[in-house]
Amino acid sequence: MRNIVLFSGLFLLSLLLTDSAKAQTRSSSMSFSLAEAQQFAIEHNRTLANASIDIQKAQANKWKAIASLLPQVSASGSYSNSLGYKMDLGPMKISMTPYMTFNVSTTVALNGAQVVSLGIAEISRRMADLTQQKTERQIANQVETLYFSALVTQETIRLLNKNLESMQKLHQITQNSVDVGVAEQTDADQIRVQVATMESTIKTAQRSLEMVYNSLRLQLCLEEDVDIILTQDIDDLLNMKTTSDLLATEFDIEQNYDYRLLKENTELSRKQIALTGWTNGPTLSVYHQFNARHNFSSEATMNMTPPNMIGAQLNIPLFGFGKNYAAIKDARLAYKKQLNTLEDTELSLNVQYDQLCYNLRNAIEKYEIQKQSVAVAQRVFDNVAKKFEYGVASSFDVTNSGTNLINAQSSYVQSMVEIINAQVSLEQLLNKR
C-alpha cells in the first residue's frame, strides 16, 4: 500500500514538474482581451483562409459564366506552296503560286442556359461570402467560450487554494492539539484527508487549465511555447446589463446565417428549373470571318476566298422532349422540397430563439441563487472552523462544511459557464457580437 501511495505521489510530482518545465521554456508571451483574441483568430485561422479561397473560386466561376456570353475571337495563319504546279483547265492553265493566308474569326453563341448559369454563379458567390461570415462568427464564438473557460478554471483554482489554506490551518491546529493530548488523532487524520483531496483537485484543475490554453492556442494558430495572458476577468465578461440587452433584442431571422444560406440555396433550386428547361433550348450562333491572302508570285492565279464573311445559325432540338419534361419535373419537385425545408427552418429558428432566451434567463436566475449559496456556505464553514478551534465542533462538522462549501463553489462556477454558453448560443442565433 505504501508503495502505491509513493508511486502515485511521484507520478503527480512528475506531471507538475513537466508542466512547470513547459511554462519555463515558453519563449514568448502574448496578451489578449476577448475582442483582441477574436480578431487575432479571425485574421490567422486557416479554416477562414480556406473560406476566403472559396469566395475567390466562386468569383472566378462567375466571370467564367460572363465570358461565355462575350464574343470569342481566334486567329490563324498558314503558308502553302504547290511547287510550281499549274491547274489545267483545258485551253488555259492557272499557276498555283506560293501564298500565305491570315484568318480572324469572331463568334458569339447565345442560349438561355448561359444567362441562367450567370445567375447561378452569382448565387454561389453570395453563398461563399455568407459561409465565410458564418465561419468568422463560429471562430469568434469558440474563442469566447475558451477565453471564458480559462477564466472560470482560474477562478476555480483561486477558490480551491483559498479553501486549502483554511483547511491546512485547521489541520495544523488539530495536529497541535493532538500533540498536547487534547484531541484525537482521527480528527487530524480526517482533516488531513480533506487537505489531500483539495490538493489533488487543484492539480487536476491546473492540468485542465493547461488543456484550455492549448485549445485556445490552436484557435489562435499560436505555437505551444507561446504563453497567453488574458487581460480581462470574469466580471468584465459576465456583464448582466449586456446580457439583459441581449434578451431584449428582437429576433430578425434575415440576419441568421443558416437561414440566409438556406434561402440562397432555395433560390439556387429555383434557378435549376430554368437551367434544366434551357438545356435543350435553341442556340443562336453569329460569326464574322476576315481573310487575307498574300501571293509570293506576280503570276496570275485564282483566289476564291472572300475577305469578309458573316453568318448566323439557329440550332433547335426537335426530339427528346419527354426526357426534358421529366428533368424539369424533377427540378420542380426538388424546389418544392427546398421550400418546405425553408419554411420548417423558419419555424424551428423562431422556436429556438424562445428556447435560448428561456435558457439564458434560467442560467441568470441559477447564477444569482448559487452566488448567494456560496456566500452562505462560506459563512457556515468559517463559523464551524471557529467552533472547531474552540473545541465546540467536531472534525466531521469541519469536513462536512468544507465539502458543502466546495460543492457550492462548484455549482457557482458551473452556473457562470451555463450563462456564457447560453449567451454565446443566443448571440450566434441573433448574429450579434
Let me know whether 192 and 104 are in one domain: no
* CATH classification of the domain holding 257: 1.20.1600.10
- For strand 28-32 and strand 226-230, is the pairing parallel, antiparallel, or unpaired? parallel
Q: Distance from CA of residue 73 to its chain's centroid?
A: 44
Let me know whether 45 and 104 are in one domain: no
> Residue 241 in 3-state DSSP?
helix
Let me know whether 349 and 259 are in one domain: yes
Q: How far is CA 223 from CA 29, 99, 165, in A?
A: 11, 70, 35
Q: Which three cell numbers stand for residue 142?
A: 469558440
Long-range Cβ contact pairs of 74-78 (< 8 A, separation 24 or more)? 74/104, 74/105, 75/102, 75/103, 75/104, 75/105, 76/102, 76/103, 76/105, 77/101, 77/102, 77/103
Distance separating alpha carbons of residues 422 and 400, to the nearest angstrom:
33
Q: What is the pLDDT of residue 188?
A: 81
Let me know whether 271 and 408 are in one domain: yes
In residues, how long is the chain?
433
Distance separating alpha carbons of residues 261 and 259, to the nearest angstrom:
5
Q: What is the pLDDT of residue 321?
A: 59
Q: What is the pLDDT of residue 365?
A: 92
Packing angle of the helix pair 395-430, 112-179 (nearest 10 deg) = 170
Distance separating alpha carbons of residues 289 and 278, to the nearest angstrom:
28
Q: Using an 8 Å Cβ cutoff, are 70 and 115 in contact?
A: no
Let me know whether 172 and 264 are in one domain: yes
In DSSP notation, 274-320 reads HHHHHHTS-EEEEEEEEEEEEESS-S-------SEEEEEEEE---S-
Let me know whether 60 and 151 are in one domain: yes
Let me know whether 139 and 200 are in one domain: yes
Distance separating alpha carbons of residues 176 and 188, to the nearest angstrom:
9
Q: Using an 8 Å Cβ cutoff, are 23 and 207 in contact?
A: no
Q: Using an 8 Å Cβ cutoff, are 297 and 98 in contact?
A: yes
Q: How far is CA 196 from CA 74, 171, 187, 377, 386, in A?
A: 85, 11, 15, 21, 21
Q: What is the pLDDT of residue 322?
A: 66
Task: Spell out the per-residue pLDDT of the chain, length 433, in tens.
Answer: 333 333 344 344 444 444 444 444 445 889 999 999 999 988 887 776 776 777 777 777 777 777 777 788 889 888 888 777 777 666 777 777 788 888 888 888 777 777 888 888 888 888 888 888 888 888 899 999 999 999 999 988 998 898 888 888 888 888 887 787 766 788 788 888 888 988 998 999 999 999 999 999 998 888 888 999 999 888 888 877 888 888 888 999 999 999 999 999 999 899 888 888 777 778 888 888 888 887 777 766 666 778 888 888 888 777 665 677 788 888 899 999 999 999 999 999 999 999 999 999 999 999 999 999 999 999 998 898 888 877 788 878 888 888 888 889 889 989 988 998 999 999 989 987 6
Q: Which three cell numbers stand for residue 16?
A: 507538475
Let me know whether 77 and 17 are in one domain: no
Q: Using an 8 Å Cβ cutoff, are 232 and 35 in contact?
A: no
Kindly report the backbone phi and psi dihedral angles of residue 52, in degrees, each rounded to the nearest multiple of 5, phi listed first. Answer: -65, -35
Domain count, the chain: 2
**Boundaries of domain holding 174:** 2-70+111-281+320-430
Q: Which three cell numbers stand for residue 218?
A: 490552436
> Residue 102 in 3-state DSSP?
strand
Query: Which of 422, 412, 344 lies closest to 377 in space, CA to CA?
Result: 412
Let me know whether 291 and 418 are in one domain: no
> Residue 229 in 3-state DSSP?
strand
Let me know whether 249 and 340 are in one domain: yes
Q: What is the DSSP letter of 104?
A: E
Let me know whether 274 and 247 are in one domain: yes
Let me know whether 79 and 187 are in one domain: no
CA-CA-CA-CA torsion sign (55, 56, 59, 65):
negative
